[in-house]
Amino acid sequence: MNMETWEQELVEKVTALAQGSFAERAALADSEGVFSQENMDELRKLGIPGLALPKSVGGLGASAEAQMRIIEAIAYCDASTAVALNMHLLVAGFVSVFPMFPRKDAMLKDITENGALVCAPGSVPTAELDDRPAGYKVTEDGDHLVFNGKAGFASGSDGAGYVLIGGSIDRGEGNDDDIVISLPTPETSGLTIRGNWDAMGLRATASHDVLCENMRIPRTEAMVVPAALVRMALEAAAANPVAAQQRAVGALGILAIWLGLAQAAFDETLEYVRERHGYLAGPAANLGKPVGFRSDEAWAQMGIGDMEHWLETGRVMLYDSVRRLDTAFPSTEEFTRHIVRTVYHLRRMSEEVSAGAMRVCGAHAYVRGRNLERIFRDMVGCNVMAWKTDQLKLTLGQGALGMPITFAGPAGT
Ligand SMILES: Cc1cc2nc3c(=O)[nH]c(=O)nc-3n(C[C@H](O)[C@H](O)[C@H](O)COP(=O)(O)OP(=O)(O)OC[C@H]3O[C@@H](n4cnc5c(N)ncnc54)[C@H](O)[C@@H]3O)c2cc1C
């Protein structure tokens, strides 16, 4: 399905912003590790926080393709902003399909009318390695729910007006836990955004840990659902294959970030090899045969050819998958294999293009001051995000052998 005219215009506007002010701010935001509120303010003016929400709740109701193109265009210039925005879009879309509860409706209104953002700490805290003490436990105290625990990697938490805190109430041995969803503001008493994100790349994502210490939420402001009911709802959702397929858009948004960054690494490499002349400095340079521009070297041309192959096959695969989300696959198994194949291919693309850029360009591209140095670190951040490459390969092989396979991504996509 082609994008509508208004979507094309929106993509153009976001692209202009990204190539202008976002690109100008990216180096400083990276070196200082600071989330760019200015970028988000500019995106707010275009209604981007409500991009993925349906028109029925005041969102823009943009197609999956428009969402991907916007994320890709931002990632090309500033991957940190793209990561934070994509997590917001993913979480807002995830929350919008929950049953109605007043707090949810208020948050969606705030997103669509005021450009509020939401973040979601759903992973083991950054400095910890054990999932057992991670996550949030909930107890009941009269008409309040009390949250305790911690989780990490809440991308965009410095700009967020809401934090998705999911927890569970222990109903005793032999009984299922109840699942609890709450949407506190960062100012809620007992909630602390730790401000501890300090990573090699994607440094401006503000992917901090979030701590809850006796955070009290009125029961009326949360959603409490027996786990069995959640399972039933998931089974019922699976009965509508197109709706189930469309939920993969959150995962594909991550692939759009990989694609935008890979294009950036590729373009930087082309520019670099056209400017890079000779090798070594001083008398030693005259000992071998004279060397001209690196773009004339066969080995560099081959390296670029390899990058080009990964980039363009990745682009074709991503947008083919995006366009096929609205048409039911013959079976759930076939869709699962298709989506795993797509994630695997783009993941390999990101790994190969990031390493390829360094292989072709070498030491002068590795120093700070060149955009490629930041882009490479951001790509490494993408290469460790969410899935595991070998696990995706294993899943593909098992699927081909007719074994049962599943695909899980951020926010349960
Ligand atoms: C820049 C950045 C931003 C991020 N933003 C967010 C965010 O906003 N919110 C958030 O919650 N997280 C976020 N994450 C965390 C991310 O999504 C992953 O949860 C985290 O990177 C995984 O950590 P890990 O590498 O230790 O992998 P692991 O936790 O070991 O595994 C990650 C994935 O591998 C698979 N896997 C590994 N082992 C098994 C197994 N035995 N069985 C089945 N599957 C398995 C699963 O698919 C699992 O999801 C972010 C990460 C980065 C780098």
Q: How confident is the model over 165-179, as a mean pLDDT?
A: 91
Q: Which pLDDT band, with edges at 50, 70 and 90, does 241 fall under?
A: confident
Nearest CA to ligand 1 atom 27: 386
Q: Which pLDDT band, with edges at 50, 70 and 90, does 244 fall under?
A: confident
Distance 58 CA to ligand 1 centre (A): 32
Q: What is the pLDDT of residues 176-205, one digit of tens each?
A: 899 999 999 999 999 999 999 999 999 999
Distance 123 CA to ligand 1 centre (A): 7
State the Cα torsion 142-192-184-37 to the nearest 10°.
170
Distance 247 CA to ligand 1 centre (A): 18
Q: How confident is the model over 239-265, as a mean pLDDT?
A: 92
Nearest CA to ligand 1 atom 28: 386
C-beta of 83 in contact with ligand 1 (< 6 A):
yes
pLDDT for 283: 63
Domain at 241-279+291-400, CATH homologous superfamily? Butyryl-CoA Dehydrogenase, subunit A, domain 3 (1.20.140.10)
Distance 412 CA to ligand 1 centre (A): 12
C-beta of 201 in contact with ligand 1 (< 6 A):
no
- What's the sign of the alpha-carbon dihedral 224, 92, 251, 122? negative
148 touches 212 (CB < 8 A): yes
pLDDT for 284: 63
pLDDT for 356: 98
Q: How confident is the model over 353-364, as a mean pLDDT?
A: 96
Distance 266 CA to ligand 1 centre (A): 27
- The residue whose CB lies within 8 Å of the most ligand 1 atoms, and thus the one to mutate among 207, 340, 405, is 207
pLDDT over 80 at 234, yes or no: no
pLDDT over 90 at 2, yes or no: no
Task: List b or e across 184-199, with b for residues whose CB sees 16 or more CB atoms inside 10 angstroms.
Answer: bebebeebebbeebeb
Q: What is the pLDDT of residues 281-323, one digit of tens each?
A: 876 666 677 789 999 999 999 999 999 999 999 999 999 999 9
pLDDT over 70 at 230, yes or no: yes
Q: What are phi and psi of 137, to 5 degrees?
A: -105, 145
Higher pLDDT, 75 or 225: 75
Overall size of the chain counted in residues: 413
Q: How far apart are CA 248 and CA 355, in angstroms?
A: 28
Domains of the chain: which residue ranges? 5-117, 135-225, 241-279+291-400
Distance 385 CA to ligand 1 centre (A): 6
pLDDT over 80 at 45, yes or no: yes
52 touches 93 (CB < 8 A): yes
pLDDT over 70 at 371, yes or no: yes
Higher pLDDT, 278 or 290: 278
Q: What is the pLDDT of residues 127-151, one digit of tens each?
A: 899 999 999 999 999 999 999 999 9
Amino acid sitting at position 413? T
Which ligand 1 atom sits closest to the C-alpha of 408?
Answer: 47
Which range of 12-26, 164-178, 223-237, 244-258 scores highest in mean pLDDT? It is 12-26
pLDDT over 60 at 169, yes or no: yes
Tell me the two tokens of residue 241. 């294959």
Rounded to the nearest integer, the mean pLDDT of the chain is 94
pLDDT over 80 at 412, yes or no: no
pLDDT over 60 at 402, yes or no: yes
- The residue whose CB lies within 8 Å of the most ligand 1 atoms, and thus the one to mutate among 203, 391, 392, is 391
Q: How far apart are CA 325 and CA 340, in angstroms?
A: 14
Lowest-confidence region among 29-43, 106-120, 243-257, 304-318: 243-257
pLDDT for 175: 87
CATH class of the domain at 135-225? mainly beta
Distance 384 CA to ligand 1 centre (A): 8
C-beta of 295 in contact with ligand 1 (< 6 A):
no
C-beta of 385 in contact with ligand 1 (< 6 A):
yes
pTM to 2 decimal places = 0.95
The distance of Cα 229 from the centroid of its chain, to the nearest Å, equals 28
Which ligand 1 atom sits closest to the C-alpha of 155?
Answer: 8
Q: How confident is the model over 353-375, as a mean pLDDT?
A: 95
pLDDT for 376: 98
Domain 5-117 matching CATH 1.10.540.10: the answer reads: yes
pLDDT for 1: 61
Distance 241 CA to ligand 1 centre (A): 26
Q: How far apart are CA 186 and CA 41, in angstroms?
A: 18
pLDDT for 286: 63
- The residue whose CB lies within 8 Å of the most ligand 1 atoms, and thus the one to mutate among 123, 255, 383, is 123
Distance 407 CA to ligand 1 centre (A): 13
Q: How far apart are CA 323 and CA 408, in angstroms?
A: 20
pLDDT for 236: 77
pLDDT for 238: 73
Distance 218 CA to ligand 1 centre (A): 31
Which ligand 1 atom sits closest to the C-alpha of 388?
Answer: 34
